[in-house]
Structure 1
């Protein structure tokens, strides 16, 4: 079974005062490097966002036009993958506590359906999932710009994988970042 990954970094960072999320450092590593470490078992990896130096080989892609939302980014990353992998890891760069172990749990859970998705303690889905690429292709909209993630995922049979520890914790706002930088 082949496994590839798409890491989404291309948002505007509006709730973070316009900061580039991929370049934010936590614990001595950028959020992008943390995401690449989490996807170490996937090959190839497509990063959807601006090209920057990375510790491992990746392909960079962008949705056209830029800033079309996470579904447009995900599908731009998907289109950059050749050959087509069996499974696709999708990871938002602002999920700094997702690890290779998290991805392994998601891959294991994906065996029984169309894929799996990480859920937080509140039961809400995070933008951390593994999906059968063929099924993603089946449900992809013609125009993904502005399409909500929940609409894309609604027809899929995704197993829920509950986040352990801080895995489900994201960096969405300046307050989130300050709290994490302070050790919380």
Structure 2
């Protein structure tokens, strides 16, 4: 049994990319979703919140109800698929092409070193937290989840858990929201 679970947010409209299925875009010969799943090697279970797509075996799929409710609704839907109230869950957006197993391991290690923290979150250079790049203690996360999650910001939920901030490299927090972002990610990976 793994010592952590994972929830991957793989929905969204990708309006700045013309509405394409963003997480299925290739970077370095693998889709953004596959790259994220590779960074979560060892997690069990892995829940992907978004439309079902070709992906690694053993992934659980769910969508927020109703679909399109935003990241907090997606986090809530993913948590509902976890069996245990205890333990740690990595919560990652699937549009960060340069996350690695080492990134997730650093987050998990940071959380282990601070038993009072509700989570550990990557912070971009300059200190701004990337709320959808973190690991969290399941029970406090569930306890802090508001009853209304649709179209509400995730920041308030995660900020209330007083997470450890883990310095990220610029590459780790880079995401793909625009065609230029995709071009940069592909160039960095070639």
TM range, smaller chain: over 0.9
* Count of residue correspondences: 184
> What is the distance in 1 between the residues matched to 2:166 and 2:93?
16
1:141 aligned partner: 146
What do residues 38-61 of structure 1 show as CA deviations (whole Å, max 9, x unaligned)? 011210000001111212310000
After TM superposition, which residue ranges in structure 1, 4 or more long, deviate above 3 angstroms? none
Check whether the contact 1:15–1:173 (CA below 8 A) recurs between aligned residues. Answer: yes
Secondary structure, aligned partner of 2:139:
helix
> What is the distance in 2 between the residues matched to 1:115 and 1:125?
12
Selected match of 1:174 from 175, 179, 184: 179
For residue 165 of structure 1, report the CA deviation from its aligned partner. Answer: 5.0
Check whether the contact 2:17–2:179 (CA below 8 A) recurs between aligned residues. Answer: yes
1:67 aligned partner: 68
TM-score (norm 2): 0.92
1:117 aligned partner: 121
Secondary structure, aligned partner of 1:117:
strand
> Any gaps of 5 or more consecutive residues in structure 2?
none
2:58 aligned partner: 57
The within-5 A match list for 1:13-52 is 13-52=14-53
Secondary structure, aligned partner of 1:130:
strand
Check whether the contact 1:3–1:87 (CA below 8 A) recurs between aligned residues. Answer: yes
Check whether the contact 1:44–1:58 (CA below 8 A) recurs between aligned residues. Answer: yes
> Is 2:105 the partner of 1:104?
yes
1:89 aligned partner: 90
> Any gaps of 5 or more consecutive residues in structure 1?
none
> What is the distance in 2 between the residues matched to 1:183 and 1:133?
34
